[in-house]
Amino acid sequence: MPVVTRKTQMQHKTEIEIELSETIAYKRPIASFESFCPVCKSLVEMAPPEAAAILTRTTEREIYRLVETNLIHFVETDKILVCLNSLAEIKSATDVMQNNYEKQNNILFD
Ligand SMILES: [Zn+2]
């Protein structure tokens, strides 16, 4: 008696959809701590750029820009910590700069 083997190849295509959502939660108080600022020459509140951005309601990119242009104090070890003292001082100044920049743009595009 012959054995009939039937090979049925069933192709299963399984699609798995994974939805990734990233939630960045900052516990209060925001990760800032006292550290020595070489410019202030004292212990001041310092924070990583992402926390500093939240504290000053600006963007992380803006914080890095201020660091790169030496407008704010910072220490660089394995990561950057910015001096919140200098950031607070520059904040009002940058608001003025922002206004001037916008005015200039208005003039240019008028
Ligand atoms: Zn400082």
Number of folded domains that form the chain: 1
Q: How many Cβ atoms sit within 10 Å of the Cβ of residue 52?
A: 29
Residue 58 domain-assigned (yes or no):
yes
87 burial type by CB count under 10 A (0-12 exposed, 13-18 middle, 19+ buried): buried
Q: Per the domain annotation, does 82 fall within a domain?
A: yes
Q: Is residue 6 part of a domain?
A: no
- Determine the structural domain holding residue 76 and report its residue range: 33-109
Q: Is residue 60 assigned to a domain?
A: yes
- Does residue 70 lie within any of the structural domains? yes
Residues 50-83 pLDDT 10s: 999 988 889 999 999 999 999 999 999 888 999 9
Inside any domain, residue 83: yes
pLDDT band at 110 (very low <50, low <70, confident <90, very high): very low
> Other C-beta atoms within 10 Å of 84: how many?
21
91 domain-assigned: yes
- Taking residues 13-34, what's their average pLDDT? 69
DSSP letter (8 states) at residue 73: -
85 alpha carbon to ligand 1 midpoint, in Å? Answer: 6
Dist. CA 15 → ligand 1 center (Å): 53
